[in-house]
């Protein structure tokens, strides 16, 4: 039986390693009869170098996967799954709590680092997301106000070079308790769930259509 081929819209080591690590968790559920093979290709995300909203992160991940799907259809590559991964920021406006009756309520802006995955088999597609970690205000200002790419800003912030291809901003912010690879791994485990746990998702859909939920 031919290998199950998973195309990934990146050639960066943390992203490809994240796919490989995620597959270790569910490969036997996803493809019991054939080994999984990973193919990495650089494709355009269609979004800014550092996405600054959840919507942009989701769009970037999806467009990467769809670019692979289009390539597969043009060139008849026989790939089975198409994976897009996107990391960046999500800006959340948190309502402030007034300390006194006459104080004006000013929304607080909190900025989170998130990693997103989108997986499709060409018929259905699903998103998955990592946990989120709040980033320092000074770092957020560099990206949001000055337009500095996150990978450049985090190198400057940490006093190192090439952090994106190693532990990533995740590692810097979490004191290496969570790496960039691990954040993407969790997003991938979540995004692939409707495929490797297909029976449960199909049962839920059937129950919903039957009015049992």
Mind listing the pLDDT tens digit for each residue in 98-124? Answer: 555 556 566 688 999 999 999 999 999
pLDDT digits (tens, 9 = 90+) for 14-24: 999 999 999 99
CB 57 within 8 A of CB 34: no
pLDDT digits (tens, 9 = 90+) for 1-57: 689 999 999 999 999 999 999 999 999 999 999 999 999 999 999 999 999 999 999
Q: What is the dihedral of CA 15, 48, 84, 199, to 10 degrees?
A: 120
pLDDT tens digit string along 141-191? 999 999 999 989 998 888 877 777 788 899 999 999 999 999 999 999 999
- The pair of structure tokens assigned to 12 is 């960066």
User: Residue 108 has which token pair?
Assistant: 């607080």
Residue 196 predicted with pLDDT over 90: yes
Contact by Cβ (8 Å): 46, 79: no
Report percent pLDDT > 70 for the chain. 92
Q: Which residue has the higher pLDDT, 211 or 37?
A: 37
| Every domain of the chain and the residues it spans | 4-136+177-209
Cβ of 32: how many Cβ atoms within 10 Å?
7
Q: What angle do the packed helices 198-209 and 180-196 form, to 10 degrees?
A: 60
Question: CATH classification of 4-136+177-209 is 3.90.950.10, yes or no?
Answer: yes
CB atoms within 10 A of CB 35: 11
pLDDT value, residue 206: 80
3-state secondary structure 1-37: CCCEEEEECCCCHHHHHHHHHHHHHHHHHHCCCCCEE
Q: And the tokens for 119? A: 């997986």
Q: What is the pLDDT of residue 1?
A: 66
Higher pLDDT, 98 or 203: 203
Q: At residue 67, does pLDDT exceed 90?
A: yes
């Amino acid at each position: 039986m031919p290998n199950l081929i998973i195309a990934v819209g990146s050639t960066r080591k943390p992203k490809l390693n994240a796919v490989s690590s995620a597959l270790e968790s569910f490969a036997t559920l996803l493809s019991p009869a054939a080994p999984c093979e990973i193919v990495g290709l650089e494709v355009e995300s269609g979004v800014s170098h550092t996405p600054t909203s959840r919507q942009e992160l989701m769009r970037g991940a999806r467009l990467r996967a769809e670019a692979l799907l289009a390539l597969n259809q043009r060139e008849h590559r026989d790939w089975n799954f198409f994976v897009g991964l996107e990391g960046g920021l999500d800006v959340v406006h948190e309502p402030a709590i007034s300390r006194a009756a006459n104080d004006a309520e000013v929304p607080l802006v909190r900025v989170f680092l998130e990693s997103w995955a989108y997986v499709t088999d060409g018929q259905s597609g699903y998103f998955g997301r990592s946990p989120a970690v709040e980033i320092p205000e000074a770092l957020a200002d560099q990206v949001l106000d000055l337009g500095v790419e996150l990978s450049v800003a985090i190198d400057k912030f940490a006093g190192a070079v090439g952090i994106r291809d190693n532990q990533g901003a995740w590692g810097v912010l979490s004191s290496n308790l969570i790496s960039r690879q691990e954040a993407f791994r969790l997003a991938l485990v979540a995004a692939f769930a409707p495929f490797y746990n297909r029976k449960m998702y199909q049962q839920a859909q059937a129950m919903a259509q039957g009015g049992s939920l």
